[in-house]
Amino acid sequence: MWKFKALRQIHTELAVGNVVPKGVYKFRVPPRVMQDAIEYLTNTLQVIPGLSRNVHFAGHRYVNMPVYQRGGDAVRTCIYAEYVRCQKEAVLDPLGKHTFAQLTKLLTKKGEIKTGLSTYTGYCSRLPVTPHR
């Protein structure tokens, strides 16, 4: 009658009158994929000198982490597209867009971009250059 084991367990607990226990979730992202994403961000973005902060991630507290500078939303999407391209060239699995955005927000601070300057340095920029017409 019941197709899903979790649904059956919840129904059994509720039928007895018990409170449904909170589920324990584990990370589905392999540590190597997360490490590659962090290395990519730290190699791509510039450090804001003299600025550090504490970061809480996955129940762990990282103290005095350097803060990296990123541009606006357009730069963040460009960084993700470049990250995915680099990972596919190296035959590695990339992080999902949402997880990458969360990681970027943890490690970076939105900075002001002056005209003619960019905080994005292009870690894996091997794109073909097209001449302007």
Q: What is the pLDDT of residues 10-63, one digit of tens each?
A: 888 899 998 887 777 666 778 888 888 888 888 888 888 888 888 877 677 888
pLDDT at 104: 84
| pLDDT range class, residue 69, cuts 50, 70, 90 | confident
Within 8 A by CB and 6+ apart from 29, the residues are 95, 99
**Domain assignment of residue 35, yes or no:** yes
Domain assignment present for residue 39? The answer is yes
Domain that holds residue 100: 28-110
Q: Angle at Cα 57 formed by Cα 47 and Cα 61, nearest 5°?
A: 85
53 located within any domain = yes
pTM to 2 decimal places: 0.59
Residue 74 pLDDT class (50, 70, 90 cuts): low
Beta-strand relationship, 60-70 and 46-57: antiparallel
Domain count of the chain?
A: 1
Backbone angles phi, psi at 70, to 5 degrees: -125, 165
Tell whether 15 is covered by a domain: no
In a domain, 67, yes or no: yes
87 located within any domain: yes
Integer CA distances (angstroms), 101 to 21, 78, 108, 118, in order? 31, 12, 10, 19
pLDDT band at 66 (very low <50, low <70, confident <90, very high): confident
Q: Report if residue 103 sits inside a domain.
A: yes
Q: How far is CA 123 from CA 26, 44, 59, 88, in A?
A: 31, 5, 30, 14
Question: Does a structural domain hold residue 129?
Answer: no
pLDDT in the model for residue 132: 45
